[in-house]
Structure 1
Amino acid sequence: MAHLIGGEDLRVDFPAKTVLDGVTVGVADGDRVGIVGRNGDGKSTLMKVLMQRMAPHDGRVTQRNALRVGMLAQEDDLPGGGTVQHAIVGDADEHTWLGDARIRDVLDGLTGDLDLAADVTSLSGGQRRRVALAKLLVGDWDVIALDEPTNHLDVEGISWLAQHLDRRWQKNQGALLLVTHDRWFLDAVCTRMWEVHDGIVDPFEGGYAAYVLQRVERQRQAAVAEEKRQNIMRKELAWLRRGAPARTSKPKFRIDAANQLIENEPPVRDAVQLTQLATARLGKDVVDLLDAGVVYDERDVLNDVTWRIAPGERTGILGANGAGKSTLLGLISGAVEPTSGRVKRGKTVRIAYLDQRLKELDEVRELRVREVLARQKSSYVSGDKELSPSQLLERLGFRTSELSTPVKDLSGGQKRRLQLLLVLLNEPNVLILDEPSNDLDTDMLAAMEDLLDSWPGTLLVVSHDRYLLERVTDQQYAVLDGRFRHLPGGVDQYLELRAAQAASGSSPGNKQAQTTATAEPELSGSERRSAEKELSAIERKLANLQVKVKATHAEMAAHDQGDFEGLGILNGKLRDLQEQNDALEERWLELSELLS
């Protein structure tokens, strides 16, 4: 693999902490690197240093001669004026960029709902972000660095971006650096992970699922004393391993190792117990929407929606921006009155709405966090444990030193966590979450999900974060063309419906074609024996590959870290082993499903 970028002995100091302390990393052709870590630990800083947008205080960065690098930073770098078209393609003639398949694909994927002749100054923050991403992607780059590219993208946009990055370069060409809290996106795009923490960078092979496995395994082998954090990650691994078929059909981690780690791990939620608790708190009646419709300015936003929400139900809601999701939530909470049909609410229903405006913090913004906690009830029951407000906040990632911080001075992620705490302490029995993943890093998302697993009430979630949606809910629905429909196939089915809608130029509505179940072929005796024999051979090959992978890791650790060419060769060897491993695992799954 050709070496592209190297960072040697990098050090970056901020007034309050050292975020990079003697870090050495390298990027080679074919690398797709996801960078994870807690907020403030240096993910964006590392990316800026490697892309030479920021100079380190010590160490050096080298780039291959004539290397073309492009970066989407979190800061807006669009021009102050001019049209959307000019911001993206500059002064290029229209026939030139219209004749470029990549540019057409980018425009369709990111700006299909925008007027290219509109002035940039008229765009919203989310629209400006999409235009900035389009401006980057229409260019030719050897290395692309993306800092939170999924912000302001819906589920379809995120899926499009993953596909675009997957086919942008040929195999073993080009490189990608990615900072994002979207774990589905990390798993779909990345082949390597870097975890930034405590001034260092730990490398991991594979995407997010592989990172979770390796991180838990490293903690187990080293007997790390972070039992609470480890339990959350093991729980998340158990969900990943037992999760949706779309995830397990293309595994990026060792099947037998994963099974061994989670063999004593219970399911992430005790659905029966939670339903019993929710029924005890709510009764049988929660909220019923009965042929409910809403008309705004002579436009049918929602039409004939019937939904009987059950106690303990955990539902994710999908829909394009402007499809009517917020209106639907307003009907449930009482903020919106139906113009047709009716809404019936149970007598004991207490609804909490966790929205993006952080309004729960308005009246306490001048208080310190500990003063806010002192005004709350003394305990909160999570699962079978009783926690104080401060213990609950610690579980959500607050340090003791941060309790003296005024609420107004908290970061965006800290405010989101405090908002969730205040909502839970009020003990609602119906909880509505509107884009709850904003401003949270992957560790904090896992902690929040762990807390919600033991919450005994009805949970409704609207989110573009596919991973979170699948993780905390048991079923998904979609708002399509003003109608509300169940998605037995989950997010994948929603994307198929939206693609069909776009292709036909009309809405799927309630007349979508039903998926036809295909009968599984019956195996003869000889076919079964042959499959079992192949399965056994694959397991032996996988075990041998793991020995080679560990040996290569040891060789890389002992290698001169300044020899980027040599490390690149070893990294290529490791990638080849990983590709062999992935192919064998995929075949292992096919045979397992066939034999079962």
Structure 2
Amino acid sequence: MAAPLVVGEAIHLEYPTRVVLDSVTVGVQEGDRIGIVGRNGDGKSSLLGVLSALIEPQAGRVTRRGGVRVGVLSQSDDLDPAVSVGAAIVGDRPEHEWAGDARTREVIGGLVADLPWEARVAELSGGQRRRVALAALLVGQWDVLALDEPTNHLDVEGIAWLAAHLRGRWPKGSGGLLVVTHDRWFLDEVCTTTWEVHDGTVEPFEGGYAAYVLQRVERDRIRAATEARRQNLMRKELAWLRRGAPARTSKPRFRIEAANRLIADVPPVRNPIELQRLAVARLGKQVVDLERVSLRYGEHEVLRDVTWRLAPGERTGILGANGSGKSTLLGLIAGTVQPTSGRIRRGSTVRLGLLDQQFSQLADIGGDRVREVLARTQTTFTVEGKDLTPAQLLERLGFDRPHLSSRVAELSGGQKRRLQLLLLLLSEPNLIALDEPANDVDADMLAAMEDLLDSWPGTLVVVSHDRYMLERVTDQQYAIVNGSLRHLPGGVDEYLRLRRDPPAPPSARPTGQSGPPGQGAAAGPAGLSGAERRAVSKEIASIERRLDRLTAEVASLHEQMADHDQGDYEGLHALADRLRAVEQEASDLEERWLELSELVA
């Protein structure tokens, strides 16, 4: 069994208005990679603070194994504004010492390579300070890392680097990671366990974000089914019910097959043909056309010779490094930024809705109460065939009714983002441009936003570092690379490859060679010969057949356990042991299948 690194026992934490953690017991063991999720305000950062000894609970205790070193990244840094970037990261270590350390070089290259080494911390932007603070933490030696929103201010490339770094930071089965983040792609890439903080409790789930969502759906389904059975028994055999049936305590591990059964009757996320038909009806055939558009500020060329046609109903994501010109491109579409050269044509029927990062749409209504703002619009919004009032729509976006009496200026960042999106949708645009819509928003709220955008019939342009959201709500992606706009048929993965290995100019390629150097025609992927590829394919087919049989056996064992006499503990124990053995074999085979699939991909 893995050794505990940090343990919190019977933790109780409350603030003047609410109890955040109520008798919570949790632990971090060697090899744990834990993502912490939950709604804003439910206690994610508080739990992280208690376990990392930054917050003292009113009751309970936190213990660490002797000698365990815990590194913490909070949402605010304690960097000395007077020191240089270099000193903030490596301290007073001599250059030959830190430059000779592979991890230090990797962290500096991954997070702060673009920052002047001698620049003062006081001269940096908030995002740059955040990256320096993260780099200063990661160059250290830690047994446990507790990270609060580490992806804030990182672009897609930086987030991918951080995920890879954390996956390889410790040997398998050692070290511990606790991370609070709203970045769902990051959770899936890094975490093997998810803790959901809600209603003063911490509920563990196996796997990253996708596994957590599917398990939560299963949990809610079981609860609903249990309640339906309880109500039925109450009507039929009230006396029997009062004696109480033994509760089932076994909880089957997440399986893809079970997830598929859960979502078998769920319709596709979007109907692209119907949405495009509605978009054309609302917009006509022309939305926005950019023709050989360039833009420069002084000597700095931001965009160069961009030609791009936005068509009705297109859902497009824009990628690019920080400062590459993504927000500028949105400004050109919106007409708030004028090009240095080139031409921009907009359809006569275009009505643009722009959600920016500065909450500019709320600037003039800061003193108004939310209900007063909603009362000024009688527009309804159709979701899945149902007309919702503004108040119903805001509630669907996770807005609590008590906050309807709050003044707009008093709302949290996440609440402002919800109100901003609501007002944008109610203005009935047929072209929406979203600039970092995931900022200040928790995972549940992001899911609600994505759900609304799924049924919105118009043209959508999204700039976001949130890879999960970008891939969820858009159907194609473009990237701004060195001032040019480039289509990405391979999506975010293609963008990351471009950033990692920029394409060589045509003149640099050997004549007659279209593929990578050294890849002969006889060799297949990963350099496999034809015979080796056949052998690998044969083993993959064998594994798939075995997995099918194991899946059927798992389903059968679940049915046997459900129908088994709950008082027969020995029989249940034998079934549970067999279930664990079958699931472990399936898990081992799945890992082997993934290894082989990569060879022939």
TM score, norm. by length of structure 2: 0.84
Which residue does the alignment assign to 2:282? 281
Specify the code of the residue in structure 2 equivalent to 1:411: S
The answer to whether the aligner puts 1:92 opposite 2:101 as a matched pair is no
Which residue does the alignment assign to 1:584? 589
Q: CA deviation at 1:539?
A: 2.6
Aligned with 1:152: secondary structure? coil
In 2, Cα distance between equivalents of 1:160 and 1:223: 41
Q: CA deviation at 1:514?
A: 8.0
Which residue does the alignment assign to 1:434? 435
Specify the code of the residue in structure 1 equivalent to 2:458: G
In 1, Cα distance between equivalents of 2:508 and 2:409: 44
In 2, Cα distance between equivalents of 1:218 and 1:177: 24
CA contact (8 A) 1:480 1:507 kept: no
Greater mean deviation of Cα atoms: 20-29 or 494-503: 494-503
In 2, Cα distance between equivalents of 1:577 and 1:160: 36
The answer to whether the aligner puts 1:541 opposite 2:557 as a matched pair is no
Specify the code of the residue in structure 1 equivalent to 2:306: V
Question: Unaligned stretches of 5+ in structure 1?
Answer: 228-251, 552-573
Which residue does the alignment assign to 1:185? 186
Aligned counterparts, 1:495-534, within 5 A = 495-501=496-502, 534=543
The answer to whether the aligner puts 1:449 opposite 2:458 as a matched pair is no
* Deviation readout 1:499-535 (Å, 9 max, x if unpaired): 113999x999xxx988999999999999999865542
In 1, Cα distance between equivalents of 2:140 and 2:465: 27
Specify the code of the residue in structure 1 equivalent to 2:108: L
Measured at CA, do residues 534 and 189 of structure 1 come closer, stay the same or move farther in structure 2, by a change above 3 Å? closer
Aligned with 1:269: secondary structure? coil
In 2, Cα distance between equivalents of 1:208 and 1:575: 23
In 1, Cα distance between equivalents of 2:581 and 2:324: 44
Specify the code of the residue in structure 1 equivalent to 2:221: R
In 2, Cα distance between equivalents of 1:226 and 1:452: 33
Runs of 4+ in 1 over 4 A off after TM superposition: 224-227, 512-533, 542-551, 574-583, 586-595
* Deviation readout 1:173-222 (Å, 9 max, x if unpaired): 00000000000000000000000000001100111111111111111111
Measured at CA, do residues 427 and 27 of structure 1 come closer, stay the same or move farther in structure 2, by a change above 3 Å? same
Q: CA deviation at 1:400?
A: 1.2
* Deviation readout 1:208-254 (Å, 9 max, x if unpaired): 11111111111111118999xxxxxxxxxxxxxxxxxxxxxxxx952
CA contact (8 A) 1:314 1:459 kept: yes
Higher relative contact order (CA 8 A, sep 6+): 1
Which residue does the alignment assign to 1:18? 19
Q: CA deviation at 1:402?
A: 1.1
Specify the code of the residue in structure 2 equivalent to 1:305: V
Q: CA deviation at 1:399?
A: 1.2
Aligned with 1:362: secondary structure? helix
In 2, Cα distance between equivalents of 1:5 and 1:527: 43
CA contact (8 A) 1:44 1:147 kept: yes
Measured at CA, do residues 507 and 527 of structure 1 come closer, stay the same or move farther in structure 2, by a change above 3 Å? closer
Aligned counterparts, 1:353-372, within 5 A = 353-372=354-373
Aligned with 1:12: secondary structure? strand
Greater mean deviation of Cα atoms: 346-355 or 286-295: 286-295
Aligned counterparts, 1:43-442, within 5 A = 43-223=44-224, 254-442=255-443
Specify the code of the residue in structure 2 equivalent to 1:8: E
In 2, Cα distance between equivalents of 1:301 and 1:173: 45
Specify the code of the residue in structure 2 equivalent to 1:585: E
Measured at CA, do residues 149 and 590 of structure 1 come closer, stay the same or move farther in structure 2, by a change above 3 Å? closer
In 2, Cα distance between equivalents of 1:527 and 1:84: 50
In 2, Cα distance between equivalents of 1:548 and 1:87: 57
In 1, Cα distance between equivalents of 2:215 and 2:88: 42
Which residue does the alignment assign to 1:236? none
Cα root mean square deviation, aligned: 3.5
In 2, Cα distance between equivalents of 1:22 and 1:420: 37
Q: Tell me the number of residue pairs that the alignment of Structure 1 and Structure 2 aligns.
A: 547
* Deviation readout 1:440-467 (Å, 9 max, x if unpaired): 1000000000000001110000001100
Q: CA deviation at 1:383?
A: 3.5
Measured at CA, do residues 529 and 501 of structure 1 come closer, stay the same or move farther in structure 2, by a change above 3 Å? closer
Specify the code of the residue in structure 2 equivalent to 1:140: Q
Q: CA deviation at 1:436?
A: 0.2
Q: CA deviation at 1:591?
A: 9.2
In 2, Cα distance between equivalents of 1:453 and 1:118: 45
Measured at CA, do residues 62 and 430 of structure 1 come closer, stay the same or move farther in structure 2, by a change above 3 Å? same
Which residue does the alignment assign to 1:565? none
In 2, Cα distance between equivalents of 1:76 and 1:23: 28
* Deviation readout 1:23-64 (Å, 9 max, x if unpaired): 111110000000000000000000110111111111111110
CA contact (8 A) 2:397 2:445 kept: yes
TM score, norm. by length of structure 1: 0.85
In 2, Cα distance between equivalents of 1:539 and 1:480: 45
Measured at CA, do residues 292 and 535 of structure 1 come closer, stay the same or move farther in structure 2, by a change above 3 Å? same
In 2, Cα distance between equivalents of 1:186 and 1:374: 39
In 1, Cα distance between equivalents of 2:33 and 2:3: 14
In 2, Cα distance between equivalents of 1:59 and 1:502: 57
Measured at CA, do residues 523 and 452 of structure 1 come closer, stay the same or move farther in structure 2, by a change above 3 Å? farther
Measured at CA, do residues 79 and 401 of structure 1 come closer, stay the same or move farther in structure 2, by a change above 3 Å? same
The answer to whether the aligner puts 1:29 opposite 2:23 as a matched pair is no
Measured at CA, do residues 99 and 167 of structure 1 come closer, stay the same or move farther in structure 2, by a change above 3 Å? same
CA contact (8 A) 2:540 2:593 kept: no
In 2, Cα distance between equivalents of 1:295 and 1:173: 50
* Deviation readout 1:72-105 (Å, 9 max, x if unpaired): 0012211232111111111111110000000000
CA contact (8 A) 1:542 1:584 kept: no
Greater mean deviation of Cα atoms: 87-96 or 323-332: 323-332
Which structure would you say has the larger Rg?
Answer: 2
Aligned with 1:144: secondary structure? strand
* Deviation readout 1:384-417 (Å, 9 max, x if unpaired): 1100000000000011111111111111100000
Q: CA deviation at 1:295?
A: 2.5
Q: CA deviation at 1:338?
A: 2.2
Measured at CA, do residues 526 and 8 of structure 1 come closer, stay the same or move farther in structure 2, by a change above 3 Å? closer
Identical pairs, percent = 61
